[in-house]
Amino acid sequence: MAIPLRKPAEIETLRRAGAIVGQTLEYLQGIVRPGMTLKEVDALGEEFLRKLGAEPSFKGLYGFPAAVCTSVNEVIIHGVPTDYVLQEGDILGLDIGTKLEGYYGDAAITMPVGTISEEDRRLIDCSKEALFEAIEAIRPGMRFKELSALLEESITSRGYVPLRNYCGHGIGTKPHDEPNILNYLEGKPNQGPKIKNGMVFCLEPMVCQKSGEPALLEDEWSVVSEDGLRGSHYEHQVAVVDGKARILTLP
């Protein structure tokens, strides 16, 4: 496994690509309301990021039809924008990728649509808090499997379970690169590659309520849990610089 080590100039370009993702997510969080369709959300997101000088990297990636993954309620990741009209109390996952000068940005949030239940608030908080706990823990010399174990502990300690078979990933001049970073431990934590300064990757805890076993909907994109319950997803892109993780996808 060859995990690229990025030079400072490359990390700066990745930060610029990531910042556009962060700005687009912040913009959508501020305008999404009940009554909007998922296709409207997607169109607004694409228009915004293009105005900032980036290309929507998800559009056409592996055949995906849109710029923004819009995952509603029980859809945890990879939701396809449709004519579905958002309702008060929905929760909406937004996952956005950009391409800028040959480098990629990628991040995601799960947001409330109007007023949501306390149960759904806790579900969203789990993926967000697990993400930031993992980012805070990153140090050179730590193994990626240790990071996976930490993500799993953060999720399960809050009473939830990680979605299986989907993962975070390296990113740079490809939208998905080595390594794959599971949100749960497979094997032993002292196995596999170590984190080094210069590595750039995405962490993305995907949280289910009872079962982490995934199921694919008829659109062949939208991923749900077999338990049929709501899920949440948060993602940031980070670079390891001077011994700690620096978030690249802040607005």
Q: How far apart are CA 251 and CA 248, in angstroms?
A: 9
81 within 8 A of 70, measured Cβ to Cβ: yes
> Model confidence at 242, in pLDDT bands (50, 70, 90)?
very high
Tens of pLDDT, residue by residue over 30-51, are 999 999 999 999 999 999 999 9
**Residue 148: burial class (beta carbons within 10 Å; 0-12, 13-18, 19+):** buried
Tens of pLDDT, residue by residue over 84-103, are 999 999 999 999 999 999 99
> Model confidence at 105, in pLDDT bands (50, 70, 90)?
very high
Both tokens of 56, joined, read 């929507």
Give how far the C-alpha of residue 176 lies from the chain's centroid of Cα atoms, to the nearest Å.
12
Q: Is the preceding omega at residue 34 within 30 degrees of 0, hence cis?
A: no
> Model confidence at 2, in pLDDT bands (50, 70, 90)?
confident
Put the strands of the sheet holding 167-170 in their side by side order. 177-182, 167-170, 200-203, 236-241, 244-247
> Model confidence at 1, in pLDDT bands (50, 70, 90)?
low
Put the strands of the sheet holding 223-225 in their side by side order. 75-77, 223-225, 214-216
- In Å, the largest CA–CA distance within the chain is 49
Question: Side chain identity at 90, as an amino acid letter?
Answer: D
Q: How far apart are CA 110 and CA 124, in angstroms?
A: 6
Which residue segments constitute the domains of the chain, with CATH numbers given?
8-247 (3.90.230.10)
Could you tell me the CA-to-CA distances from 89 to 83, 86, 109, 171, 200 in Å, in that order? 18, 9, 16, 34, 35
